[in-house]
Chains A and B, each alone.
Chain A
């Protein structure tokens, strides 16, 4: 596993009130074996809420893949998919 996975979580107003606050606890749910390759950072605002076609807040982005109506579970699924583990 040499690919690095960067997760960016939006902390803007709309995302925060629509559940983004919970996303910030993501780090606690990352499986042990992925700690080395996953890094989590925040964004002041990913600006996706301004275009409807991107979906609904909260947003997170996993190595370029946008996740809308994001939950810790959905983000974890995407991380696992990219890291090729089930």
Chain B
């Protein structure tokens, strides 16, 4: 895999795409771009459709290239195996399981603000199971601006998921490093990603009470965003780390909005982070991905933007842990998708994902 970073998203980006497209050694194009105003369907669709090489990717809050996170520009990577790109736009229709024995890794990018984002992931698992090693994340802007954010050969699309399956083995590391400080608390009312009541109380009130009880901090409308960044919810899985659900907004009725579904009737814990445990988790993720991987494997990482926001000044250490391998590229995502073939495919929050892909 050969990657290039385009500082501007105008003609340079288009020229880079066409350059890779004409490269006979390039059979697929992975695009990790920042949500610049230039990335609109009108601006890029024509170019995307003209490409003879299958293209896939997304717009993310930041992209990772050369050991740094960039809030602008785009990373374009030419890969040596031809991907099978599929767009999932409807959650109601089951995917046709059409597995090719050679396809072993699937890149999954989901519009983080899609109404059925979790269902897209569930559809993938229902169709393909652990036939693939999945790696990817939620695309979009952190400020909640809904826009077309997924690159496909047909253009830029939104409210969907794009899957690119490649015949390349990979190893995955998925870790978050968040730990329990309280729970379990019953989700007594929820609607998709909207947590209405917790233990029978308005979610915000109950959350504030838990934080008040378990920490030395007090949740107010002013402090909620900052506290929520450091105290997400965790959903239990047998024999696995909790699935983190990141609250990011409060509705007028006291509901909490999260990235990812919170099923009614289930239980959540309140987690807390520590820069050290999080950086250690990132390091473990890199180590897990690197274990058994070839030295020339392409390393791609997707780290949650909210981790970066939480770690703030310590994020450089996490980024360094994730980018230990040279030429690591990646993005800061809004939710992560990963599965190493040993469990259920999930849509994570606040998690660090590293993948080492052979022969890419």
The finding on whether chains A and B are genuine partners in a shared complex, rather than unrelated, reads no
Residues of B within 8 A of A (CB): none
Q: Which residues of A contact B (CB under 8 A)?
A: none
